[in-house]
Structure 1
Amino acid sequence: MTAVPRVTGSKLLVQIGNGADPETFDHDCLINTKRGVQFTSETNESIMPDCDNPEDPAWKSVTKDGLQATISGAGMLYAASLGEWWDWYNGDDAKNVRFNVTPAGYWQGAFKLTQFEVTSDGNKDTATSTVTLVSDGAVTWTAV
């Protein structure tokens, strides 16, 4: 039996482009504990009637209409980058982002910061942050 090679959470990095030419991508320490990417699609459904047996239940046909990627991240609050994240949230600009899965490759596309949260459970608890990035256009996969 061949064991599945493990990919640990530290190998998943959300890397944000600096907008320069050539663009470089760096991981921001604000996302330091949880990170994930979710792919969803909008669909249209049609009922495909059975012409030979019109009384039988018909099967649904699904057509994908729109694709979207959502990156989520969280961690202990990294105060040094708060201003940058706040500016991104307040604007309508997308930034190029890579969701890196070392050693396999990365997804890349333009993303907008749609959710930004700073919280703490109490006076002595560490403050945390949570972010949500939503794709603005196509997302591509690049194998390494």
Structure 2
Amino acid sequence: MTTDDDALLVDQDGGVLTLVNNDAPRNRMTLEYMDALEEAVREAAADRSVRALVFTAAVVHEVHPVDELKAAAHALAPELAAMPPRAVAGVLRCVVGAGVAPLDEALAEERRAVLDCSGTADQMEGMRAFLEKRRPVFTGE
């Protein structure tokens, strides 16, 4: 088992390997965490004693003290406002529902979110911007 200082906590009990995102503020979703997760999964796949893999995570990008939360939200607002509204709404529906919905319902919601954005002006703009190596300008259309 790793220490609380590690980004990823690993515990093996018999044939069950449990991977847990250490949700201490310094261990938000980082490249270090993703590397540790990839390495742990690779090691588990090679370990014949591992019969089941359990993964739990709190996916957090940033953590702020309560007294700084409003300012952080206001700083993030322009970035969110520049994103395609349908896509943002779809992602939020999927993320919120993923924690409580059965897998088949969560996948159905993901399909609905993708279909809702398919063929929109914003989707086309995103693809054009990617191919032209520039930042997209979304209109909500």
TM range (shorter): under 0.3
| Superposition TM-score, scaled by structure 1 size | 0.22
Q: Give the number of the structure whose alpha-carbon radius of gyration is greater.
A: 1
Query: Which has the larger helix fraction?
Result: 2
Question: Relative contact order (C-alpha < 8 Å, sep 6+): which is higher?
Answer: 1
TM-score by length of 2: 0.23
* Higher share in strand: 1
